[in-house]
Amino acid sequence: MPKHSIKTGLSFGLTSATITTLGLMVGLHAGTNSKLVVIGGILIIAIADAFSDALGIHISEESENKHTTLEIWEATIATFLAKFVFASTFIVPLLLFPLATAIIVSVVYGLLLLSLFSFYMAKGQGEKPWKVIAEHLLIAVVVVIVTHYVGDGVRRFCS
């Protein structure tokens, strides 16, 4: 069983990386239809958002005033690494497939990641996995749909 600080960083990082990266990819694809732009966006998210979220976790853990300095830094580093690594994995489909196919593969991959993590989390908490999975997938699907239409709207407005 991982330490609380590591578990905090990994769970937040994986979830945030997956939903943020999917939203970015789908929105950029709808707005630009450019593989280069989507890959660039993922790299930027993997770096900038990983640092931002790691700092957010760091400050959040500090503000609780109940964690040691080591625990705070463990959560910070785990968040950064999880966010960076998981966001970066979404580049692989873009290197292997045409853009439209890579987006579909990435959405399926992201939803699978969230499902597996949600299942693991629900089991650990003694909850019904299907409820937790459904809740988390609903949020991810809403993000994907909304960002698609935002990207499409920006493309139409700016062209």
CA distance linking residue 48 with residue 43, whole number of Å: 9
CA distance linking residue 60 with residue 94, whole number of Å: 34
pLDDT value at residue 37:
98
Residues shown for the chain: 159
Q: State the burial class of residue 51 (Cβ atoms within 10 Å of its Cβ: 0-12, 13-18, 19+).
A: middle
Coil, strand or helix: which one is 117? helix
- Find the DSSP H helices in 33-98: 35-44, 50-64, 69-89, 91-96
pLDDT value at residue 9:
82
Taking the CA atoms of 148, 149, 152 and 157 in sequence, report the sign of the dihedral they define. negative
pLDDT value at residue 5:
80
Coil, strand or helix: which one is 140? helix
Q: pLDDT of the chain along its 159 residues, tens only?
A: 568 888 888 888 899 999 999 999 999 999 999 999 999 999 999 999 999 999 999 999 999 999 899 989 998 999 999 999 999 999 999 999 999 999 999 999 999 999 999 999 899 888 899 999 999 999 999 999 999 999 999 999 998
Hey, where are the domains in the chain? 4-154
